[in-house]
Amino acid sequence: MKVENILCTGCSLLCDDVDCEVEGGVVVKAWGSCSHGTNRLKGFKESRLEEPLVEGSKASVEEAVEALAEKLKSSKAPAIYGGGCSSNRCVELALKLAEKLEAVYDAPPSICRVLIPIRREFNVEASRFEEVLDEADFVLYWGVSIADTHLRHASRYTVMPRGSVIKMGRENRVVAMVDVRESMSMKIAQHKLVVGLCGDASLAKSIVDALQGMTPQPPAEVPTRQVVLLASDLKSSSFTAIFLGSSLLRCRPEESIKEILKLAEKLREKGKCSVQPVAEEVNSYGQAELSLKLLGTCSPYSFKEKAQVKPLHELVAEGTVDFVFSLNTDLLSSIPMSSAKHLQGKLACTTELKTLTQAKSSIAIPVQALGIEAGGTVTRTDGVEVELKPFLTPPQGLLSEEEVLSRLLKSL
């Protein structure tokens, strides 16, 4: 059976023009998807956890939820972690769960968690893909290699397509890329700037200087001529779309992002300028946005202290947290080993797939694959809420993550 125009959850672009062939409840072919999307559609069933596990033994969903509820109730300092691979409703439920337990809430590092709250302090736009496609004549990628992370970002949304104003597509756009190393993505760019670690803020300042007619003083590894030429093209643009990636998180991210936003404000003096993140996970944007809306911050938050706290891996290493419930996120693959070793026997998770976190969890509850078997709302990397359209029937007895969290809340 052929299923047309499915909504792909292979990354945060959430492409809605993918077709697939389904046989026996399995996707056997996919058309229009990138390699990440194809792997997501065709590969998830091969590596999924099929039954709940409690202390290594198979259990029913009801038994697993009750066991998890008891673990959380007996914990003196629990933490809830994740949300970037979950629906917006699941993020809301996770925050309710953390509030009820007076727990710490944290999520994986994301450019969204830094950019979204800071952006509110500046006079910059946050344009949607459709507007960028139609009108942007200058596209600047900073701290991301889209050829490795979001394969259709340029080809479908920002650089290649023809728009209502940019009628020739790529031929009418100038593309610039800034990153810590030369990447495959830079092949489509007229301006290729390789900046050293911690040099982003200095580079952004130097571009502003060049726009003002001053002599720029960029980081030593960036030739002054490159900055002058980039500024010249920026001056000529009527709509600059800036996309920020996770490489900016490596060194003083707040400082770097503030300087880039100052650059955006300078560009807005003569035209339009938009600044958006390139969200790492399918719902990193939604997780950050909901945290900011409901908690007032995107930083790690303690409901017991009613305040921002250190990142989860630091709290675990200090012994401040004694049990972690991870939401469909491979926590152990994203924190230092020095912290991970403290979670032996102190970890539980919901998961779509077999992961290191699942293997080390005392309680692991499999859930339906988001966007494939389970519906819900997620937020695209440009801030647009998207309703998922599941197209496969999940295995009997397998619940969605939203259902698992709802049952868990009732059990507490």
Identify the CATH number of the domain in which residue 310 sits.
3.40.50.740
Give the chain's domain count. Answer: 2
Q: Tell me how far CA of residue 227 lies from CA of 71, 142, 194, in angstroms.
A: 56, 14, 11
- Residue 46: the pLDDT is 83
Query: Is residue 31 situated within a structural domain?
Result: no
Question: Which ranges of 102-143 would DSSP assign to H, the alpha helix?
Answer: 111-119, 129-135
Read off the pLDDT of residues 179-233 as tens digits, 9 standing for 90 and up. Answer: 999 999 999 999 999 999 999 999 999 999 999 999 999 999 999 999 999 999 9
Asked if residue 182 and residue 300 are part of one domain, the reply reads no
Q: Is the pLDDT of residue 44 over 90?
A: no
Query: 257, 277, 297 — which closes off a domain?
Result: 277
Q: How many CB atoms lie within 10 A of CB 2?
A: 9
Residues 261 and 336 in one domain: no
For residue range 373-384, list pLDDT tens digits in order: 999 999 999 999
What's the pLDDT tens digit per position in 246-279? 999 999 999 999 999 999 999 999 999 999 999 9
DSSP H or E run through 30: strand 26-31
In a domain, 209, yes or no: yes
Q: Is 393 contained in some domain?
A: yes
In a domain, 29, yes or no: no
In the structure encoding, which two tokens stand for residue 20, read together? Answer: 């697939």
Contacts (Cβ under 8 Å, ≥6 apart) of 285? 12, 112, 116, 277, 279, 379, 380, 381, 382, 383
Q: Are residues 144 and 96 in the same domain?
A: no
> Residue 27: inside a domain, yes or no?
no
Contact 384, 128 (CB under 8 A): yes
36 lies in a domain?
no
Same domain, 62 and 152: no
- Whether 34 maps to a domain, the answer reads no
For residue 393, the enclosing domain spans 50-110+282-411
Both 260 and 171 in one domain: the answer is yes
* Per-residue pLDDT at 320: 95
pLDDT at residue 27, as a whole number: 93
Both 217 and 323 in a single domain? no
> What is the C-alpha separation between 31 and 5, in angstroms, rounded?
10
267 and 330 share a domain? no
395-to-3, 216, 232 alpha-carbon distances in Å: 19, 60, 58
> 259, 277, 295 — which closes off a domain?
277
pLDDT number for residue 246: 97
- Determine the residue type at 288: A
For residue 43, what pLDDT band results from cuts at 50, 70 and 90? confident
Q: How confident is the model at residue 300 (pLDDT cuts 50, 70, 90)?
A: very high
Cα-Cα-Cα-Cα torsion 267, 272, 278, 279, nearest 10 degrees, comes to: 120
pLDDT at 215: 95
**Do residue 208 and residue 165 come from a single domain?**
yes
pLDDT of 34 over the 90 cut: yes
CA atoms of 237 and 138, how far apart (whole Å): 6
**Domain CATH for 194:** 3.40.228.10
Structure token pair of residue 35: 């390699």
Model pTM score: 0.96
Q: Are residues 263 and 314 in the same domain?
A: no
Predicted pLDDT at 17 = 95
Same domain, 271 and 126: yes
Q: Would you place residue 301 in the very low, low, confident or very high pLDDT band (cuts 50, 70, 90)?
A: very high
pLDDT bin (cut points 50, 70, 90) of residue 49 is very high
pLDDT given at position 359:
96
CA atoms within 13 A on the CB side of 293: 10
What number of other Cβ atoms are within 10 A of residue 346's Cβ? 18
| pLDDT mean over 395-408 | 96
Whole-angstrom distance, CA of residue 181 vs CA of residue 186:
10
Tell me how long the chain is: 412
Whole-number pLDDT of residue 182? 94
Flag whether pLDDT at 45 surpasses 90: no
pLDDT digits (tens, 9 = 90+) for 168-194: 999 999 999 999 999 999 999 999 999
Q: How far apart are CA 349 and CA 340, in angstroms?
A: 14
The verdict on 263 and 147 lying in the same domain is yes
Output the pLDDT for position 47.
87
Q: Report how far apart, in Å, the C-alpha atoms of 67 and of each of 96, 100, 352, 367 are.
A: 19, 17, 19, 16
Mean pLDDT of the 4-32 span: 95
Q: In the listed set 256, 277, 298, which residue is the last one of a domain according to the structure?
A: 277
Strands 104-106 and 301-302: antiparallel
Please state the rounded mean pLDDT for residues 105-131: 97
For residues 14-43, average pLDDT: 94
Chain centre to alpha carbon of residue 185: 19
Q: For residues 169 and 306, is the Cβ–Cβ distance under 8 A?
A: no
316 close to 64: Cβ distance less than 8 angstroms:
no
Mean pLDDT, rounded, of the chain: 96
| Residue 211 pLDDT | 97
Do 287 and 395 reside in the same domain of the chain?
yes
Q: For residue 182, how many other CB atoms are within 10 A of its CB? A: 13
